[in-house]
Amino acid sequence: MEKAQGRVPVTILGLKGDLDASNFQEVIKKVNDIFSLGGCDLLLDLSQLKFLSSSGIVALHSIALIMRGDRPHDLDNFWGTWHAIREDKSSGKQEHVKLLNPAPKIQETLHKTGMDAFFEIFHDWNTALASF
């Protein structure tokens, strides 16, 4: 985790390896801690993420909820969570969470799940920071 300055302070969190059922709750907790400590804008660096499962999609959506000050999903209600994600996608691009450098496989998963309509995706560090 690091900090950078756009028009506002931005926290950069790099995700590595797999984002799946084995670790998605840890990632959600980490972002909740960032928000609790005053972090308002988050850039998720996905350049080293190799795999994104359905649990990873839930994590990304939970991160968006946290960063906009909403309550994250009840992770015990997986199908209810999926319905909430589907309904929330129409809210448009997230103001406080953006994605950086997803690999083609991750980009494809984001597209297939409709999350590319929910998050702004950047392939350039400076452009991503300037967007906040």
Domain that holds residue 86: 2-130
Encode pLDDT of 33-92 as tens digits: 999 999 999 999 999 999 999 999 999 999 999 999 988 878 777 777 877 887 787 778
At 13 the pLDDT is 98
Q: Is the pTM of this model over 0.85?
A: yes
Q: Is the dihedral of CA 115, 58, 91, 84 positive or negative?
A: positive
Q: Using only the alpha carbons of the chain, give its radius of gyration.
A: 13
Provide the pLDDT for residue 73.
75
CA angle 100, 59, 73 (to 5 degrees): 140
Count structural domains, the chain. 1
CATH number at residue 19: 3.30.750.24
Neighbours of 125 (CB within 10 A): 15
Q: In the predicted model, what is the mean pLDDT of residues 3-22? A: 94
Residue 81: predicted pLDDT: 83
Give pLDDT tens digits for 88-129: 877 789 999 999 999 999 999 999 998 999 999 999 999 999
Tell whether the torsion through CA atoms of 29, 119, 74 and 20 is positive or negative: negative
